[in-house]
Amino acid sequence: MERATVRELHLRTSALLKNVAEGATYVIESRGKPIAELRPITERKRGRPLPAHIDDFANSLPPSNDVDRIISEMRDDE
């Protein structure tokens, strides 16, 4: 992992981004303290698919109309 100052980032943005696109990672420092990391974006891994029975579970829950009721009551009060 390479290091670059905020000033270097400002002056050499294109060069640093080219290196990042090629796989480099930089720790950006301000006054000697790390403040950010500049690295390539990696594709997110998809999680496990939901079990097939999740729809059955969701449909078994009682309907919730609390929000509808609250909004209706608020409108009635106006």
pLDDT at 5: 97
Residues in CB range of 29: below 8 A, 6 or more apart? 3, 4, 5, 6, 35
Look at the pTM and tell me if it is higher than 0.95. no
pLDDT at 51: 78
Assess whether pLDDT exceeds 90 at residue 11. Answer: yes
pLDDT-derived band at 50 (thresholds 50, 70, 90) equals confident
Instruction: Give the residue-averaged pLDDT of 37-65.
Output: 80
Alpha carbons 16 and 35: distance in angstroms, whole number: 16
